[in-house]
Structures are given as structure tokens and as C-alpha cells.
Amino acid sequence: MHRNTDAKRITRRRFLKVAGAGAFAGSTLSILAACQPDTTAQSGNGGEEGGNGGDGGGNGRLNFYNWSDYVAESTIPGFEEETGATVTQDTYASNEELLAKLQAGGTGYDVIVPSDYMVAIMAKSDVIQELDFEKIPNFENVGENFRGLSYDPENRFSVPYQWGTTGILYNQAELGEINSWDLMFDEQYSVQIAMIDDVRETLGVALYRLGYSVNATDPGQLEEAKQMLIEQKPLLRGYFDSTEISPQVANGDILLGHVFSGEGILTALENEGLAYVIPSPAATRWTDNMCIPNGARNPELAHEFINYILAEEPGAELTNYTYYGTPNEAALPLIDEELQEIPEWNPPDEVFERLEVIEDVGEATRDYERIFTEVKSS
């Protein structure tokens, strides 16, 4: 469920080298100029003109359709060097945009990165193909907690790419420590709160607060969540992308922001007095996945790319760049030690156990979309 932008970021290694490792919520930012170059889209027409076809390796071209700024600097060059292939990357901003592109006939992409529930929708919509695991031997590196999840129980269509949580980035210096969703609904912080503009994540917050599942389909429970969000709306600065919310908290424009973990952790590291929390009683655990669309021009090379990402070093380099979690157990020893020590990045068992995975809710999807439209227009 990654949401990221093309904004330049500081590598954790560079940050620690210059600033020194400090407490997660108390790290200072005196090195904003020390940013690394952007590594995103290398072409604008991957889906329409994509690929030379043919076998993987050697002379192949891979068309990669991904979230923005969601690949390490070394990932694409490393794969190109290893295989002799050429990689073209396009980017999208939401799972729904990705789905619409494929359903509209945007063929030619070889690897895409949909989130959990969207994998199930895409499989039912017949826009992704089954994987050949004989060509992905590094799947053995994937941890048990990231195999056979509800959206693809047999991993027929997907393998995990990165994972994370959805929580609150907040001004700890002013608010002290918080551990629940309650302050996101507190009138004393009116216009100091921002929520993610995402139907499942935002309704999920209300459902969690009410003690219901993020995958609730009961009309009464959904109505309760709707009323809670309608009551919250006057308190909000607005609904935004996660990467639009984080700078508002960092700049002091708001006190509380609903964000994805990579953004929250990175922003807290870079700004003294901020913290990221996974709130009680429950929160979302999401997983972004690699899939091969139907209509891929080079499925052989796509399998090679997926296998490359699941190798130890490329997997670690990816996570050390994104600040999101890795499902790749073989990569864990290579993850920056300071990052592993952050409990919000590496949740203890008691926190992990209260995280929920967003699932495809079938026909109730229309109810979620209707409710969120009604909330935003109220």
C-alpha cells in the first residue's frame, strides 16, 4: 500500500554517518542538503510501446510499472548489469490507477507492484498471470509470515516486495507519547489532523476504533464508521496522500498525520520531536507484491527480475532505501542495524498480532466507495 513521491531522500547510512545514530523520535536533521539522487521513472511509455520481447537476459527489455521512488538506486542498474537487459520504469499513484490502466488495455508491462487486496481483485479480473516458481528459486527466502496470505493463499499470482504498517506521524514534543487512534478524533486538535485519501485505510481507522475488522461488510458497522468519519471531518486539514501529510507534520502545520510507515519512520528520523506510532487497538499491515500482467511482453525476463529482487543483497538494498519492511528473511542480516532496532519498523510479536491485512470485500467494495464519497462531500 505504498504511497511515495519523487522527492529526494537521505539514505539511512548517509544520515547516520553525518548525524550519528540517535533515538528514533529524537533524531536531529542538520543535513537536509545531503540527499541522494532520484531513481524513478526512466521512460514515459513503458506500457504502450513496451519491450523487445524474446527470452530473458541478454537482449531483453523489462517494462516495470511501480510506485514512485520505490526502488533502490542500485536495483535497476544491478539487474541490468547481471542480465544485460534494459529496464524501463513507469510509475502510478494508486492501486486503482494501476487496475484501470490494465483493464483499459495498457499492455506491455512485465512486472507490476499491486498491494494485497488488489492482487485478489486482479486475479478475479484476469489481468495477471500465474507465476512459474521453477523460475523463482529465491522465493525460498520469503518468510512464512508473508506466504499464503488471504489475498493469494497459494501464491499463484504474487510474491511479496515490501511490507509496512499504517499509523500516525505526530508531534511528540507537543503531544507527548500517544498509543491510540483517539487523538485523531479529538476536538482540541481541530484542523491539526490529516487523513490519507484512501477509502480502505481511512474507513479502516474508524472500524478499528469501533472494535471492528478493517474488512467489515456488515451494513450497520459500516454505517457507524461513516458517522464517525463525518463527525471527524470538520477537525481535518484535509485528506491527502501520505507523502503530502508527512511534510505538514514536519513543518509544524499539523500535529497528527495518518501515514504509511516508511514515510512516518523516515520523517521522524529526520525531524527532532516527531514520532511514528502503530496505534491501538488495531492497525493495517499491508504488503506490496510483484506480479506479471497478462499481456507482458517479456515474461521470462519478468521472472528473472522477481527472482533478483528476492536475492539477499538486492532485497536488503531495497529496504535500506525505502525504510519499509522486507519479507525477505535472507536479506535481514544485511539490513542496517539501526533500522532493525526501531520497534515501529520491526514490531514485536504483541504488536504484529494486532495488525490486520486489508482483503477484497467483494460486493461490499461498492459500499465502501459510496460511504467514503458521502463522508468527503458531507
Has residue 19 been placed in a domain? no
Residue 253 sits in a domain whose CATH number is 3.40.190.10
Assess whether 244 and 353 both reside in one domain. Answer: yes
pLDDT, residue 246, reads 95
Per-residue pLDDT tens over the stretch 139-182: 999 999 899 999 999 999 999 999 999 999 999 999 999 999 99
pLDDT, residue 69, reads 84
Assess whether 298 and 368 both reside in one domain. Answer: no
Is residue 256 within 8 A of residue 181, CB to CB? The reply is no
Has residue 18 been placed in a domain? no
Assess whether 242 and 188 both reside in one domain. Answer: yes
Assess whether 259 and 360 both reside in one domain. Answer: yes
Assess whether 138 and 207 both reside in one domain. Answer: no
Residue 64 burial (CB count, 10 A): 26
Has residue 7 been placed in a domain? no
Is residue 241 within 8 A of residue 3, CB to CB? The reply is yes
pLDDT classification of 105: cutoffs 50, 70, 90: confident
Per-residue pLDDT tens over the stretch 34-64: 233 333 333 444 444 443 444 444 459 999 9
- Spacing of C-alpha 299 from chain mean position: 24
Assess whether 240 and 365 both reside in one domain. Answer: yes
Assess whether 273 and 315 both reside in one domain. Answer: no
Per-residue pLDDT tens over the stretch 221-250: 999 999 999 999 999 999 998 889 999 999
Counting Cα atoms < 13 Å in the Cβ hemisphere of 138 gives 21
Q: Within the chain, where are the H helices? A: 12-19, 46-49, 75-83, 95-103, 116-124, 172-175, 199-209, 219-232, 242-250, 261-270, 299-309, 312-322, 337-340, 349-352, 364-377
**Whole-angstrom distance between the N-terminal and C-terminal Cα of the chain?**
26
pLDDT, residue 21, reads 32
Element (H, E) at 112: strand 111-112
Has residue 336 been placed in a domain? yes
Please choose, from the candidates 159, 147, 96, 142, the residue with its C-alpha nearest in 3D space to the C-alpha of residue 122.
96
CA dist 198 to 33, 224, 242, 334, Å? 32, 18, 10, 33
Assess whether 177 and 221 both reside in one domain. Answer: yes
Is residue 339 within 8 A of residue 345, CB to CB? The reply is yes
Is residue 120 within 8 A of residue 93, CB to CB? The reply is no
Assess whether 236 and 373 both reside in one domain. Answer: yes
Assess whether 189 and 296 both reside in one domain. Answer: no
Q: Work out the average pLDDT over 81-94.
A: 94
Has residue 10 been placed in a domain? no
Assess whether 139 and 188 both reside in one domain. Answer: no
Structural domain that includes position 227: 165-285+348-377
Is residue 268 within 8 A of residue 27, CB to CB? The reply is yes
Assess whether 113 and 80 both reside in one domain. Answer: yes
pLDDT, residue 16, reads 33
| Counted domains in the chain | 2
Has residue 331 been placed in a domain? yes
Q: Could you give the percent of the chain with pLDDT greater than 90?
A: 76
Has residue 42 been placed in a domain? yes
pLDDT classification of 328: cutoffs 50, 70, 90: very high
pTM above the 0.95 mark? no
Based on its alpha-carbon atoms, the radius of gyration of the chain, rounded to whole angstroms, reads 20
Q: Work out the average pLDDT over 369-378.
A: 96
β-strands 283-290, 193-196 pairing: unpaired
Phi, psi of 238, deg, nearest 5:
155, 180
Has residue 210 been placed in a domain? yes
- The mean-pLDDT minimum among 26-30, 89-93, 113-117 falls in 26-30
